Structure 1
Amino acid sequence: MFHDIAIEDMMVLKEKGDMVLIDVRSPSEYNNSTIPGSLNIPLFDDEERAEIGTLYKQVSPEAAQERGLEIVSAKLPNFIKEFKQIDGEKTVFCWRGGMRSKTSATVLDLMNVKVNRLLGGVRAYRKWVVDKIERMDLPQKAFILNGNTGTGKTLILRKLLKEGYPVIDLEQMANHRGSIFGQIGLQPHNQKTFDSLLIERLEQLKDSSYLLLEGESKRIGRAVLPDALCDFKEQGVQIFIEMPIEERIQHILDDYQPWEYKSQCIEAFRKIKSRIHTPISAQIEECLQSEEFSLAVKLLLEYYYDPRYKFTADQYPESQKVTLHVQNVDEAVEKIKKLIGNELKVSNRLASI
């Protein structure tokens, strides 16, 4: 017989890498929100789920169950085969830990495929995430990476992440670059997915004495940062990266590849063109149309993004700011590593007094 597993126990095993999670809900439900890292082996596809739901509401629960049994019976061999191909301990879940996960676990058990069933399903997981957000436990120290658009802040953070630094990559969690052009070439995550990725990363870093993250605004694409995290960021050491504009332009071109998304770039620009002096905005739009992307980016930086950034930077007291003048991303990484090391040494000395 399959075993039921509570959300807290499942998360411990998941963090250790000892658990494979399988979402048996329909593809659209899975794509909307799931437990990060889970696989999708649906018991019903979207059309089948809609059909069963209609029967349940318009005919009877018995009619819905009978139709569900017909559908499951037809696809059972492939369903079981997919599970048998997955190594390791497995846990199935649906929305509330109800009929779909119970049916899946029962059928698999009959075929000698051992699985657990997550009690409460995605609903219980979401409650776990929300509870964690409401009582967010953060370290005392934060290093916040700021800089003009194009300074490669996300690239810097990801290089530091590879070296084992406790990085929170908010843009990756939101799947958005944080500007009006930020979703070009991407499919932004919704709030539930962002919350899940954030909390699971914070759980991984719960023993760290500090966190390193980018100075994002409260909203990144479709996601809104929790108030506690915003407050934490505001109190951190604000690192400001100064980099030559030529390097910044190249970073933007490499990241956004506007030649691949020309129409989307023009559409995004038109949302902000009224905020730019008319002759300049006309020139930018003309550059985008004629694919003079380097000049378009340069003008956007000089007449839109840099003035806005300066206003934001001026809000911080000088005592809270550290400015690093660098030529490229690699130099920035090395200077940030040195700065963090020095700051932690000072903190450790003060703590020992």
Structure 2
Amino acid sequence: MFKDITPNQLFDLKQSKMTIVDVRSPKEFQDATIPGAINMPLFSDEERSVIGTIYKLEGQEAAKDLGLKICAKKLPEYIEAFKQLPQPLTVFCWRGGMRSKTVATVLDLMNIHVTKLSGGIKAYRNWIKEQLDTLPLPELFVLNGCTGSGKTHMLHTLEKEGYPVIELERMASHRGSIFGHIGRKPLNQRTFDLVLGEALLTLKNAPYIVIEGESSRIGKIKIPDRFYQHKEASHQYVIALPIAQRIELILAEYQPEIHHDQFIEAFSIIKRRIHTPVAHRIDEALKNHNYREAIRDLLDYYYDPRYRHTLNYNEEQMTTFKVTSIEDALAKLRAILPALHVF
């Protein structure tokens, strides 16, 4: 007989390469799932909709009967697909109900080692939220700097070198600015909270974490209040990189020549906030593919003034690194970060 496991147990098992399977419909899976899960839906979106309608009109038993008939037709192929997955397996649905119970029962009968997440993804989300609300937070080293200062590149490099890093923009799949979604598929709040919660649990024994200074929102994502307040109270390290290098970094990161129309559309959203002659100049530069000129004006007249306005920390809370390159900045960061790298 298969066993139920708790959210806490699932998180621990994830660290040992447990295969996690979301048996909900594709639409539910796309909306939000447990990080790292794969989707093997018991019902398609259309089948789930029909079963839901029958449940409302004719009751639970009629819906169960229809669900059984639909399952029976696809069961051999469905089981065979599970046999191809690395074991052990854990399956889950929305609340640990009929769908995951049915799949776990059938797999167990076929001698496929499987466990079921008790309470489903709803219970896992609630458990992660509890961790976000109560987990002791380590010291934060917060990297700040104007747009294009290379903070993301620095975090990537430090993470590869074994430093404990949480990259909020990567978790949100958004760079934070009005152009931040370009070339990416932003996550929703539910998924972001799960990813952040898991990252904090993974690094719970780290003596510190390096993160990027972000506002309380990254695109449409809101950073949980407790973590954001802890970030604001932490020491801020400001990277001051020459504007010419920042422009080149922005061009390499955002690739406006590939996403030209999206850049025009994004600029139209903030155009009215910029002094009219400058806004017109940026508009013309973008339309003519003169991206360096456009970015220079965007930095000088929009992003840098806004950034300086929000950087209102006490002098004792800030350290500014005037650097000539990203490598120079990384060298200065390594010098002040505690020596213990791997956790």
Which of the five TM-score ranges fits, normalised by the shorter chain? over 0.9
Which residue identity lines up with residue 222 of structure 2 in the other structure? V
Corresponding residue number in structure 2 for 1:333: 330
Counterpart selection for 2:313 from 313, 316, 332: 316
Q: CA offset at residue 127 of structure 1? A: 0.9
Q: Under a length normalisation based on structure 2, what TM-score does the superposition of the two structures give?
A: 0.96
For the aligned residue pairs, the C-alpha RMSD in angstroms reads: 1.4
Aligned to 1:197: 195
| Corresponding residue of 1:227 | 225
Aligned ranges 1:207-286 → 2 under 5 Å:
207-286=205-284
Q: Distance in 1 between matches of 2:182 and 2:282?
A: 18
Listed one character per residue, the Cα deviations across residues 59-97 of structure 1 (whole Å, up to 9, x for unaligned) are: 332332222122212221221122111112110000010
SS across alignment from 2:313: coil
Match of 1:179 in 2: 177
Match of 1:123 in 2: 122
1:297 matched to 2:295? The reply is yes
Alpha-carbon distance in structure 2 between the residues aligned to 1:237 and 1:134: 22
CA contact (8 A) 2:178 2:266 kept: yes
Contact 2:51/2:67 (8 A) holds in 1: yes
CA contact (8 A) 2:239 2:321 kept: yes
Deviation beyond 4 Å, 4+ runs, structure 1: none
Q: Quote the residue 1:51 is aligned against.
A: 50
Letter in 2 for 1:69: L
In 2, Cα distance between equivalents of 1:340 and 1:108: 49
Q: What CA distance in whole angstroms lies between the structure 1 residues aligned with 2:7 and 2:235?
A: 36
Which residue number corresponds to residue 104 of structure 1? 103
How big is the shift at 1:331? 2.1
How far is the alpha carbon of 1:18 from its aligned partner? 3.8
Point out the more displaced range, 162-171 or 329-338: 329-338
Aligned to 1:27: 26
Amino acid of the structure 1 residue aligned with 2:195: L
Tell me the CA shift for residue 321 of structure 1. 1.3
Q: Contact 1:142–1:211 (CA<8 Å) still a contact in 2?
A: yes
User: For 1:230 and 1:60, how far apart are their aligned partners in 2?
Assistant: 46
Structure 1 Cα separation of the partners of residues 176 and 82 of structure 2: 38
2-structure distance, mates of 1:92, 1:98: 11
**What is the Cα deviation at residue 175 of structure 1?**
0.9
- Deviation track 1:46-71 (CA, whole Å, cap 9, x = no partner) reads 11110111111123323322221222
TM-score by length of 1: 0.93
Structure 2: which amino acid aligns with 1:8? Answer: N
Q: Which moved more, 1:21-30 or 1:241-250?
A: 241-250
Q: Does 1:3 align with 2:3?
A: yes
Instruction: Please tell me the residue identity of whatever aligns with 1:137.
Output: P
* Deviation for aligned residue 1:136: 3.4
Unmatched runs of 5 consecutive residues or more in structure 2? none
Aligned to 2:62: 63
Structure 1: state its 5+ residue gaps: 345-353
The one-letter code sitting in structure 1 at the alignment partner of 2:337 is I
One-letter amino acid of the structure 2 residue matched with residue 123 of structure 1: K
Q: Deviations over 1:92-121 (max 9, x none)?
A: 000010000011011112222121011100
Q: Is the 8 A contact 1:56 1:63 kept in 2?
A: yes
Are the counterparts in 2 of residues 136 and 228 from structure 1 also a CA contact under 8 Å?
A: no
Mapped to 2, the partners of 1:136 and 1:273 lie a distance apart of: 42
Is the contact between residue 144 and residue 238 of structure 1 (CA under 8 Å) also seen in structure 2? yes
Q: Write the distance in 2 (CA, Å) between the matches of 1:78 and 1:286.
A: 57
- Deviation of the 1:159 alpha carbon: 0.8
Asked whether the equivalents of residues 87 and 113 of structure 2 are also in contact (C-alpha less than 8 Å), the reply is no
- State how far apart, in whole Å, the 2-side matches of 1:44 and 1:63 are: 16
CA distance in 2, matches of 1:226, 1:188: 17
> Does the Cα contact within 8 Å between 2:35 and 2:195 map onto a contact in 1?
yes
Q: Distance in 2 between matches of 1:330 and 1:103?
A: 55
Distance 1:115 1:124 in 2: 19
In the alignment, is the contact (CA less than 8 A) between 1:27 and 1:42 conserved in 2?
yes
